[in-house]
Structure 1
Amino acid sequence: MQQEKESAEEINELWSLYGENRSMEIRNRLVEHYLPLVNIIAGRLAMSLPSHVDRDDLIISGYFGLMDAVDRYDIKRGNKFETYAGIRISGAMKDELRSRDWISVSLRQKIRRYESAVVELEGRLGRSATDEELAERLEMSIEQVHHLERQINAATVIPLGEYMKSEAAIAVDTDPHRSAEYIETRETLAKALDELTEKEKLVVSLYYYDELTMKEISLIMHLSEARICQLHTKAMFKLRGFLANIDGI
C-alpha cells in the first residue's frame, strides 16, 4: 500500500536528514515522492516520438535519472529540486533513445539533405526559404516536403530542449569553467533566437518555455497543427546551425 504523500515540511526534513547520513531508506522515500515527475516527463517526450518507442522504457530510464538527481542534489544551494531533477530525468531518457538509435538510416539521410537545403537557400536568399523554394530545391512536391517535415519534427527530440533547460543545471555548479559555459550557451542561444522569424520564435517559446503541445500552439496561433510542426522543424535547423560550435550537441 502506498504511503501518504509527505508535506513540504516533511520533505525538507528528509532532505536535511539525507544530507547528513545518506540513508538508503530516506533516499527511497524521496524518490517515491518525486516519482510523478518521471511520468510527466515521459508523457511529454513520448508525444514527439514514433508509436513504436515504448514509453515504459523511458519511464525506467527516467527512474534511474531521478535516483541520480536525488544522490547529487545539494539542498543548501537553494535551487528547486524539480528543475534540477527534470534535467537529469530528461537526460537519462534521451540517453536511452540515443543508445537505441531509433531513427532509420534513410530518415537520417533525408534529415541531412533537408538541412543542407535550408542552409543553402537561406544563406543565398538572406531570408527564410518558402515551402515552394524548398520543394523545388529538394525536387519534391510541397505535400512531400510537409510530410518530411513532420517526420523530421518527430525526430528532433533532443537539440533545443536541453539548452532551454540546461541553465539551471549549469548554474548550480560552482566550477568556474561550467559557469563560463553557461554564459556562452545563454549568449549564443539568445543570438540564435534573434535570427528566427516572429512565428518561429513564438512556436519555440510556447513549446519549450510554456511547455504547450503542438495542438495547443496551433489553437493559440490559429494555424494548423501541421503548420506548427513545420515552423518548429525550420526553427530547429536554424538554431542547430548557431549552436553547432558548442560542445555537447
Structure 2
Amino acid sequence: MQAAPTPELLSDADSPPTDDAFQRLSALTPGAERDALRDEIICAWLPMAHRLAARFRSRGESMDDLRQVAAMGLVKAVDRYDLSRGKAFETYAVPTVTGEIKRHFRDHTWDVHVPRRVQDLRNRVRTARRDLALRLGGRAPTCAEIAAEAGLAEEDVLLGLEALESYSALSLDAEPAGVDGGAPLANRLGACDHALDVAVDREAVKPELRRLPERERTILYLRYFRDMTQVSIAERLGISQMHVSRLISQSCERVRAGAMEGAV
C-alpha cells in the first residue's frame, strides 16, 4: 500500500477552516442543530476525502466506490475527533481516511479469501521482489534472495508468492495465458468418472461372489454379463423361470449384505 499522505500535501481547498465549527459541535447536545452542523463539517472536508481516494484509483476499484469508502472514513474522523487534544483536524483525518481505504482493499477486494497474515506477507514479498529486480538489472530474484531482503523465512516467501496470484480469480471462460485460440480453462477441468465407482463396487463384491454356489454364480453371470433373460437361463439350466428369479434375488441380497459388512 502507498504511504499515508501527510497534511502538508493537501491543498488549501482541502483544508477548510472548521475549528470554530468543531468547537460549537462539541458544545451541542444531540439534536437537529448538531446534526446539521456535523453535516456541514463533513461536506466542507469532502474534497479532501476525494483527493485521498484518487491516489488509489489505479488499484482496480471504481472511483465511485473509493470515494464512498473515503467518505465513510471522513465521517468516522469527524465523529471521533477531539479538539481538546490540540491537533489540527486534518492531522487526524488524513490517516483515518487513508486507513479506511486500505482496509477496504484488504477486506473486500480479494476474489479469494486470504488471511490477514498472508496478505501482509504478500505485501512484504511484493515490495522486496520489486526492489531486488531494480537492483539486479531486471533479473528475477530467487526465493532465498527475497527472504533475505524481506527478513522472512523461505516458507513465508513461498506463501506470499502464492498469495500474489490470489488477489484476482481467473474466469473459467478465459483462455490459458500465452495461447491464442486455445480451449477455455473450463474445458480442461476433470470430471467425475463413474467408471471408477463401478471398479470399486466390482472389487467389493468379488469375495462374496466366490462364496456363492456354482449354479448361483452361473445364473448371475448369464443374467448380468451375457444379458440373457430369466426364461433363457431357466431353459438352459432346466429349471423354472420362477426359480431363476428367486435365486437371483437371494444371491444379490447375499452379495450386497456381505459387501456392506466388509465395508464396515
Which category describes the TM-score, using the shorter chain as reference length? Answer: 0.3 to 0.5
Structure 2 length-normalised TM: 0.38
Scaled by the length of structure 1, the TM-score of the pair is 0.40
1 or 2, which has the higher helix percentage?
A: 1
